[in-house]
Amino acid sequence: MTPVPVLSASSITKVFQAGGKQLTALRGISIAPLAGETFGIIGESGSGKSTFGRIAVGLEMPSSGELYIEGERVDDLPASLRRKKFLRCQMIFQDPYSSLNPRLTIGKQIGEAIYAQGVLDWRQIRGDVGELLEKVGLRRDSADRYPHEFSGGQRQRIAIARALAPSPRIVVADEPVSSLDVSIQAQILDLLASVQNEHLLCYILISHDMSVIARLCDRVAVMHRGRIVELGPTSSVIGTPQHPYTRNLLDAVPRLGRRRSGHGPTTAALPTHGDDDNLIEISSGHFVLQSTAM
C-alpha cells in the first residue's frame, strides 16, 4: 500500500505586495511529506523556505496552488473550517524568546492550544500540560512560571510542548536550534527525534544548516529563489548533488582540517556551529555524523 502524504502541496505560489511592487516568494512549490518522515527544506536567506513553512501551518495563504492536509484540500475552505484543520499543523519558531508571550505563564500558553482542540475542563487541561512538560524534560510545576524565568533551551522545549498540545500530525520546525548555544543544540534535536518516534509525527524541518539536515532528514528539498531546484533522499542529495546550486551550498560549508592531494578524496571535518564534539566528516562528498554526545 502506497503511503498517503499527511501534507501535500501542489504548485504553491506566493506573491507579496511591497511598496507598489510585486515580490514573488514562492514559484510552484510541490512536496508531499509522509507520516513519520522528516522532510528537510534548505536554502539561503530569502529563498522562500520560511514563507512555505508559514503557508503549511496556515499563517499565510498561497496566491495560487493547492494545499492538502490528510487528503483534504484546505486552501479553499471557509475560514472557520480552515482554522480547525490547521490545528493538525503546528510550528516551532526559530526564536524561543519572541515566540512565547511574556505576560502569560507557560501553562496558560500550552493550555490554550489544548483548549482550542475542544477540551473545556481546565483541571484536565492542567493535567495534560503537566504531562507535556514532563515529555519535553521539564517539571510539572514549571507551568506556573513565566517565559523570562527559563533559559533559551528550556524555552524551546516549552515551544515544542506547545506545538504538541493540539495533537498535530505535522510539525514545521523553522530553524529550531539556530538561536541556541551549541551546548544544547543536540539535546533539542534529540528531543525532536524522540517525540517524533512516539507520535509518528511528520516534520518539515527548515534550516540553512547542512549538518542539521544530514542528521535528521529522510528527504530534503533544496530551495533557490522561490523554487525547488533539487529534491530527493538526503543521502543522495548530499552525496551526489545534481544541481549547481546544491553543489554551491555544499562547497560553501566551512571546512576545517581540509586535506587535498593529487589522489583520493577530499576529507574535511565540520563542527556543528563550531562545536568540536559534534563533527561531521565530508569524504567523497558524503556527510557522516561522527558523534552526537553532549
User: Does residue 291 belong to any structural domain of this protein?
Assistant: no
pLDDT in tens, 197-215: 888 899 999 998 888 899 8
User: Does residue 287 belong to any structural domain of this protein?
Assistant: no
208 closest CA partner among 255, 251, 175, 241: 175
User: What is the count of structural domains for the chain?
Assistant: 1
User: Does residue 159 belong to any structural domain of this protein?
Assistant: yes
pLDDT in tens, 234-278: 999 999 999 999 998 888 776 544 443 333 333 333 333 333 333
CATH number for the domain harbouring residue 68: 3.40.50.300
Tell me how far CA of residue 128 lies from CA of 110, 122, 124, in angstroms. 9, 9, 6
275 closest CA partner among 187, 171, 160, 182: 182
Residue 212, domain extent: 7-254
User: Does residue 22 belong to any structural domain of this protein?
Assistant: yes
User: Does residue 272 belong to any structural domain of this protein?
Assistant: no
- Grid coordinates of 140: 510539572
Q: What is the reported pTM?
A: 0.83
CA gap 48, 223 in Å, rounded = 7
User: Does residue 270 belong to any structural domain of this protein?
Assistant: no
Phi, psi of 29 (to 5 degrees): -80, 130
User: Does residue 283 belong to any structural domain of this protein?
Assistant: no
